[in-house]
Every structure is written in structure tokens, then in C-alpha cells.
């Protein structure tokens, strides 16, 4: 049965497509591509998903990506995600992929892009969902590597909506990528960066001041810096918050301690998303459902979160107005 949290129309803005690799697909693709993985069964894969911090997750996430080899693999991965997203009320998705995770293993950039865009076309036809793709630079690598990635992306640039910055945050501040973000902006791309997930509030300031981002991914640690909260609120900067990820990576102790409603109360344009749902225990509706239960969110607060997801999306004014009207109709029908 579709509940309120799955039914409410929403945009997914923080989703790493590599993080949707379910253990079943990992095992199936390992067999299809004859890739050895250090797990004998789906149960063993699932049992390995116990994380102590971001890096302990990233180690497994990059190892899992080894099974992704062909255009068909990337298509199948993304198509499975779009089916789940549609069932979760997602009408617009802006998804990340990490090109360097694949090019560093000898998988051509074009193989990845062709597979993903084939799935995007399928999702548009099958679900009427609109989809954009954001290419994320890996921040544990150097800026020259990001520039090389931007060059590989050249033939695809008019099809990507933006660039992002992810991977190991602490020790890899936003300023490390100042030039490649400026170059990406010059090419007409929107800019996002993970900031304040594990890194300090200063990294959020830097993402704003140096990278000049259009959106902050996570941003939870802004709550430690009242002046930063005021600044983000004044700028109506979107923070794409991922509650199940925050618990799985121990950025918050339990969902009952999650700051989502305090972020809304502080005037922040916070939204709810799924990050790496195959690894963190649930897709976007489950993120809404479980944090709403744990923090006793009202329906009005949930509607605000969904509205913020559209306001934070890289949509044209006309498309945005259409989504907001649909959401208002839904909200009136579910008081
Ligand atoms: O939550 C995340 N943080 C940083 N990098 C990532 N890459 C995939 N997921 C994440
Ligand atoms: Zn993320």
C-alpha cells in the first residue's frame, strides 16, 4: 500500500547512483561479468554493511562498484533505481554519478554515460519522471584529475545539469577544487558540493565563498554555527539532508536525535533524500517515513520538506510552478 510518505510528490536531489547497487544486483553482476567479489552470498554482502564513519562506507562502496563494467550494467543499475523512485513518489530526480570511480578502473566515460542516459530515457517514457544527471568529482583525488574528467565529459556537457563534489570530506576542503568549479560554472553547469557532513562548518562557508555553489549536500554541521545558519537561511540555500545516511555513518546517534525539524525551525531550506539507499537501509520514502516518525513531524512539515525539494531543484520556473501546484493539490487532499 502506498502511504502518505510514498505518495507525496517529491524531487530526489541527493542520490549517488552507485549507492543504489543492491546486494542482489552486486552478486548478479559479479557473475555476469566474472568479477571476483569478497562475498559468497547476498547475506554476506548485507552483513558487511556496518559502518563506523564515512570512510568505512566509501571503502565498501568503491569495492562494490567493481562489478559495474558494461553500458548494460549502468543501464540496469539506473533503471532499477528509477522504478523504485517512481514507487516512492519521485516525479523529478537529479542523480549523481562518480565518473572517476569507473575511469580509474579502465571503464570508458562514454560507456558509463551511454548506459545512464539510456535508463534516463526509459524512466521518462515509463514513469513520466524528469531526470537530470550531475557528474561528481572525487575530492580525495587531485584537481588535475577533476580537470581531466571535465575534459572527458566535454561531448556530454550539454546533457549534464551540473557537477558535484563527494568522497572523503575531512582533509579535502572545497577550496582544493576552486579552479575546476569555476571552469565548470563557465561551461554552464550548476554547482553542488557535499559540505558539513563530517567536515566542519568552515567547509560550508568555503563551498559558498570559494566554489560559489548553488546547493549544499548534507550541511548538517551548519547547525554548530549560528552565523552560518543565518547566512544559509537568508540566501535560501538548499541543504540536501539524508537522515538514514546520517545514522548509518554515525553523524547522528539515532533518528530521534536528527536535526531535520530544528533545521526547518531555523529557517533553513532543508530537504530529505536518500544518498546511498542500498547501503543505508532505505530509499527516499523510507527516509521521510522514518525521520517523520522519530521526530514526530507534522504533515505540514512533511509538505514543507517536499516543497523545498522542488524549490531546490534545477528546474525552469514553469516546470517548478507545475510541481508546486501538484503538491498543493496533494496537500489539500491529505490534510
Ligand atoms: O554520503 C557521501 N558522502 C561523501 N561521498 C559520498 N559518495 C557517496 N556517498 C557519499
Ligand atoms: Zn552523498
**Residues 247-299 pLDDT 10s:** 999 999 999 999 999 999 999 999 999 999 999 999 999 999 999 999 999 99
Q: Is the CB of 245 under 6 A from ligand 1?
A: yes
Where residue 1 falls among pLDDT bands split at 50, 70, 90?
Answer: low
pTM strictly above 0.95: yes
Q: Is the CB of 275 under 6 A from ligand 1?
A: yes
Dihedral sign from CA coordinates of 137, 139, 140, 145:
positive
Phi-psi region of 8 (alpha: psi -120 to 50; beta: other; left: phi over 0): beta
Q: Among 38-42, 245-249, 325-329, whose mean pLDDT is lowest?
A: 38-42
Lookup result for grid cell 552486486:
26
**The domain 4-25+71-333: what is its CATH number?**
3.20.20.140
Beta partners for residue 138, in sequence order: 166
Lookup result for grid cell 548478479:
28
The annotation status of 194 as a binding-site residue, yes or no, is yes
Computed over every residue of the chain, the mean pLDDT equals: 97
- From 22, 66, 132, 197, the catalytic residue: 197
Which tens digit of pLDDT belongs to each residue from 75-116? 999 999 999 999 999 999 999 999 999 999 999 999 999 999
* Residue 105: Cβ within 10 Å count: 12
Eight-state DSSP code of residue 3? -
Residue 145: per-residue pLDDT: 98
Please, are residues 11 and 90 in contact by the beta-carbon 8 Å criterion? yes
Domain ranges of the chain: 4-25+71-333
Compute the distance between CA of residue 298 and CA of residue 293 in angstroms, rounded to an integer.
9
Please, are residues 300 and 328 in contact by the beta-carbon 8 Å criterion? no
Where residue 2 falls among pLDDT bands split at 50, 70, 90?
Answer: confident
Q: Which bound ligand lies closest to the C-alpha atom of 169?
A: 1
Compute the distance between CA of residue 144 and CA of residue 325 in angstroms, rounded to an integer.
44
Amino acid at each position: 500500500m502506498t502511504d502518505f510518505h510514498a505518495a507525496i510528490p517529491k524531487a530526489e536531489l541527493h542520490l549517488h547512483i552507485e549507492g543504489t547497487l543492491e546486494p542482489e544486483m552486486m552478486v548478479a553482476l559479479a557473475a555476469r561479468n566474472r568479477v571476483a567479489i569478497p562475498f559468497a552470498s547476498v547475506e554476506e554482502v548485507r552483513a558487511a554493511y556496518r559502518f563506523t564513519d564515512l570512510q568505512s562506507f566509501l571503502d565498501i562502496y568503491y569495492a562494490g562498484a567493481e562489478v559495474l563494467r558494461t553500458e548494460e550494467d549502468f543501464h540496469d543499475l539506473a533503471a532499477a533505481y528509477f522504478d523504485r523512485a517512481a514507487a516512492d513518489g519521485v516525479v523529478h530526480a537529479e542523480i549523481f554519478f562518480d565518473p572517476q570511480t569507473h575511469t580509474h578502473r579502465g571503464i570508458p566515460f562514454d560507456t558509463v554515460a551511454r548506459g545512464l542516459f539510456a535508463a534516463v530515457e526509459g524512466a521518462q517514457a515509463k514513469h513520466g519522471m524528469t531526470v537530470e544527471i550531475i557528474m561528481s568529482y572525487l575530492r580525495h583525488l587531485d584537481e588535475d584529475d577533476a580537470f581531466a574528467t571535465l575534459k572527458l565529459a566535454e561531448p556530454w556537457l550539454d546533457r549534464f545539469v551540473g557537477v558535484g563534489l563527494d568522497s572523503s570530506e575531512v582533509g579535502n576542503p572545497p577550496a582544493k577544487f576552486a579552479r575546476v568549479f569555476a571552469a565548470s560554472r563557465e561551461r554552464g553547469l550548476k554547482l553542488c558540493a557535499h559540505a558539513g557532513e563530517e567536515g566542519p562548518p568552515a567547509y560550508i562557508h568555503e563551498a559558498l565563498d570559494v566554489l560559489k555553489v548553488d546547493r549544499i549536500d548534507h550541511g548538517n554541521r551548519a547547525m554548530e554555527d549560528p552565523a552560518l545558519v543565518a547566512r544559509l537561511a537568508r540566501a535560501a540555500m538548499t541543504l540536501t539532508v539524508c537522515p538514514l545516511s546520517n545514522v548509518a555513518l554515525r553523524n547522528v546517534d539515532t533518528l530521534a536525535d536528527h536535526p531535520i525539524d530544528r533545521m526547518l525551525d531555523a529557517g533553513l531550506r532543508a530537504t530529505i533524500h536518500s544518498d546511498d539507499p542500498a547501503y543505508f537501509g532505505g530509499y527516499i520514502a523510507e527516509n521521510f517515513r522514518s525521520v517523520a516518525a522519530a521526530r514526530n513531524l507534522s504533515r505540514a512539515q512533511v509538505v514543507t520538506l517536499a516543497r523545498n525539494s522542488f524549490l531546490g531543484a534545477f528546474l525552469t520556473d514553469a516546470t517548478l510552478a507545475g510541481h508546486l501546484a501538484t503538491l498543493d493539490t496533494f496537500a489539500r487532499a491529505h490534510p
